[in-house]
Amino acid sequence: MGEAIQDKPTVGFKIGLLGLGTVGTGTAQILLNPVQRHPLVAELELYRVGVRSLDKPRAVDLPADRFTTDLESIVTDPAVDIVVEVIGGLEPARSLMLTAIAHGKHVVTANKAAIARFGDEIFTAATEAGVYVLLEAAVGGGIPVIEPLKQSLCANRIHTVMGIVNGTTNYILTRMQTEGGDFADILADAQQLGYAEADPTADVDGLDAADKIAILASLAFGGRIKLPEVHCEGIRQVSAADIAYADKLGFVIKLLAVAKRTPQIAPDDPEHLQVRVHPTLIPKIHPLASVNDVNNAILIEGDPVGQVMFFGPGAGAGPTASAVVSDILNIAAILTVGRGSQTSLEGKALLDPLLACSHQHYCAIAPMDELITRFYARFSTNDTPGVIGKLGTCFGDHNVSLESVVQTDIHGESAEIVVVTHNVREGNFHQALAEIRAMPSVNRVASVLRVL
């Protein structure tokens, strides 16, 4: 039996919040209204708030002297315990986080772009300084997935992390599927709802999802990921016609992010990962197919746990702030019980190894040509006898076997042919496609998408 716990004096943690946009405002609203939340929320003081303009009307009620446009003064303020970075972008976010760390402050961030690019530098600095950098909000908005990967699932050998990790594109694709609306109008709605990045090309072109899957892969597979090695395609090329064909064939189209160990043929084969983002035809019966609107879902497969899926709102002020504040509370909890002040024999602050990140090596990423996957392709061809046969022969010559071939939409002399392949080697499929493009009877390869 341990000693009886005495009445605990109020601890109180001072929060320096950088940015009061969508996520910053959601975070402030939780911190300023602790009723019926965990009692530790009441011990968090929103001490300083860094903003661009002092004149802008704000949705949070705080004394004017809490605001400053000098963000450097927050990250160097000796009174601040935890810096929350929600300004987004690469700079000055990176420098502000590094300065906060150098001044012994713990950092909570939602900034996947900065972490995916500068995680190495930021986590090395944090380990050296003995502080935590937590990022639950960076992936999946309100869905707890970072902490489960670090903690609850850490006994597993993870094989696959796969999911829908961008709320904006899922919102766009869902509305294109259900109401056939215009891409630009739907994107404007996603921006209005606070889902999209400051520059929404990061969402639409898959870059935001690539940042997120790189972060998830590094946690799942225990090594850093070089972002330029993540294969990334966005949703611009997904047309209403593809959505309609996919529907007829029993699929929905989603922007899928995948990180997977490639099978080792021999036990001493070097281990490679596939890390990729692309629009994908998902069978309607697959659990990810019914993840709609701004929701995200991440399916993790590990040994021995099997499959677990995390589902919930992937963007927006409230859900993202929920994740931000959970990180703040994790740090506050550690500091409350004094675990933040324990040191090693060399005098270095000891960090909880299940919460801190300390990967040293980079994972090897397999080339896309070696991927084994199914494909969907749509061809615009002349409606002449033998076209389907020529396509079939060309695919066969390259070891690409076809699961289905459908000829539809015959307009005068032209027709559309849609094929779905069996599992094939991606390199073989592209070789066949190059030959098909050169065929006189083929006007255009209208689209090529992978199939789960």
Ligand X SMILES: N[C@@H](CC=O)C(=O)O
Q: What are the residue numbers of the active site?
A: 212
| Given 27, 168, 280, 295, the residue binding ligand X (CB under 6 A) | 168
Contact (Cβ atoms closer than 8 angstroms) between residue 148 and residue 154: no
306 burial class (0-12, 13-18, 19+ CB within 10 angstroms)? exposed
Assign 357 to helix, strand or coil. coil
Which of these ranges, 56-64, 95-103, 121-129, 196-204, lies near ligand X under the rule CB under 6 A?
A: 196-204
Distance CA 88, CA 170 (A): 21
CA 187 from centre of chain: 18
Instruction: Return the one option of ligand NAI, ligand X, none that residue 223 interacts with (CB less than 5 to 8 A, by type).
Output: none
> Applying CB under 6 A, does 141 fall inside the site for ligand X?
yes
Residue count, binding to ligand X (CB under 6 A): 11
Q: Which is nearer to ligand X, 321 or 420 (CB)?
A: 321
Per-position DSSP letters for 272-335, written without gaps between them: -EEEEEEEEEEETTSGGGG--TTEEEEEEEEETTEEEEEEEE-SSHHHHHHHHHHHHHHHHHHH
Q: Which is nearer to ligand X, 96 or 315 (CB)?
A: 315
Site for ligand X in 315-374 (CB under 6 A): 315
Handedness of CA 226, 120, 74, 82 (dihedral sign): positive
Distance in Å, CB of 285 to ligand X, minimum: 25
Contact (Cβ atoms closer than 8 angstroms) between residue 399 and residue 439: no
Contact (Cβ atoms closer than 8 angstroms) between residue 380 and residue 444: yes
Distance in Å, CB of 143 to ligand X, minimum: 10
> Applying CB under 6 A, does 232 fall inside the site for ligand X?
no
Site for ligand X in 266-325 (CB under 6 A): 314-315
User: Which residue number places its CB atom closest to ligand X?
Assistant: 168
Q: Which is nearer to ligand X, 24 or 340 (CB)?
A: 24
Contact (Cβ atoms closer than 8 angstroms) between residue 405 and residue 388: yes
Distance in Å, CB of 195 to ligand X, minimum: 5
Instruction: Return the one option of ligand X, ligand NAI, none that residue 168 interacts with (CB less than 5 to 8 A, by type).
Output: ligand X
> Applying CB under 6 A, does 24 fall inside the site for ligand X?
no
Which of these ranges, 90-98, 189-197, 223-231, 413-421, lies near ligand X under the rule CB under 6 A?
A: 189-197
Nearest CA to 133 out of 91, 104, 90 is that of 104
Which of these ranges, 36-44, 123-131, 160-168, 267-275, lies near ligand X under the rule CB under 6 A?
A: 160-168
Residue 279 identity (one-letter amino acid): P
Q: Which residues of this chain interact with ligand X, rule CB under 6 A?
A: 141, 166-168, 195-197, 203, 208, 314-315
